[in-house]
Amino acid sequence: MADRVIVVHGGCGNPAAGVVRDEASYHRAMADALEAGSDVLEGGGSALDAVQAAVQSLEDCPLLNAGRGSVLTADGGVEMDASIMSGADLRAGAVAAVTGVRHAVALAREVMERTPHVLLAAAGAERLAVSAGLELCDADWFVTERQRERWMASQGTVGAVALDGSGHLAAATSTGGVGGQLRGRVGDSPLIGAGCYADDAVCAVSCTGSGEAIIRGSLAFEVAALMRIGGLALTEAGDGALRRVGALRGDAGLIAVDAAGNVAMPANTTVMHRGVVRNGGPPETAVFVTD
């Protein structure tokens, strides 16, 4: 079997000094997600199943801004965006502004597998969740005391990218958006080419950070384009694409893996929760960008 790699992130940001409390629990959240993804890959499963398993684990973690624990909209609710993409055939699925679905990434997968569309929003996406038999939760279940108190600002998004033993790549991203966003606001996370992209010929990318700047800079696609058209290596492509978003005043980070198993995890913020596992080995996790 060729090399297997799973990489995850739990969002980036610039929290005020001393605000990253209980750092160990973030390392644990990354390690749990890596284990979920790695178990799939080591069992001979696909990169697509691995990124979905990893992101579902992160969506369930109340510390992170996706699924349960999502940030609150201006009117105190939770609206989630998610996407998933298969590098083997460029199939993709995504959902925007959904409520009440435990795993938005699973619903994005349903859009990809069961519909002729790429992106379904709001009530239409929720109807698909019901017909697909996905787990539904009361609106209140997603709202944690922690988010209600808003004691931690700018905790963004979760995502995963993977390379499986057959040489296929996949990416997935899931978020509650940005705190206080207008109802109906959709960020980069469900937009293929912005917050998520995968192409076996180049790389798989999942982004986090200022959604509007990431959309304008087409961050995930820019990484792939700098490699495919520009001939850059993964690290240089990731850095170059991020600089462009930085020039748009975007705070952002991304995780990426290429077809050779190289990994890049750049961010222009002080914090990006992230981690990687290779070939079922021990998880390497980090919180601060300088780690």
Query: How far, in Å, CA of 199 to CA of 36, rounded?
Result: 23
The strand pairing partners of 141, in sequence order, are none
Residue 11 lies near ligand ASP (rule: CB under 6 A): yes
Judged by CB under 6 A, the residue of 37, 67, 177, 217 near ligand ASP is: 177
For residues 211-250, which are near ligand ASP according to CB under 6 A? 211, 214
Q: What are phi and psi of 199, to 5 degrees?
A: -150, 115
One of 10, 37, 45, 156 touching ligand ASP (CB under 6 A): 156
Residue 225, CA atoms < 13 Å, CB-side half-sphere: 11
Task: Report if residue 206 touches ligand ASP, rule: CB under 6 A.
Answer: no
**Among residue numbers 182 through 201, which ones bind ligand ASP (CB under 6 A)?**
187-189, 195
Please state the closest distance from residue 197 (CB atom) to ligand ASP, in A.
14
Catalytic residue flag (residue 73): no
Which of 157, 173, 269, 285 is flagged as catalytic?
A: 157
Residue 171 near residue 7, CB atoms below 8 Å: no
| Helices of type H across the chain | 23-42, 47-60, 104-114, 122-131, 139-142, 145-149, 211-216, 219-228, 234-247
Q: Are 259 and 200 in contact (CB under 8 A)?
A: yes
| Binding residues for ligand ASP restricted to 135-154, rule: CB under 6 A | none
Q: Is residue 208 a contact residue for ligand ASP (CB under 6 A)? A: yes
Residues in contact with ligand ASP by the rule CB under 6 A: 11, 156-157, 175, 177-178, 187-189, 195, 208-209, 211, 214
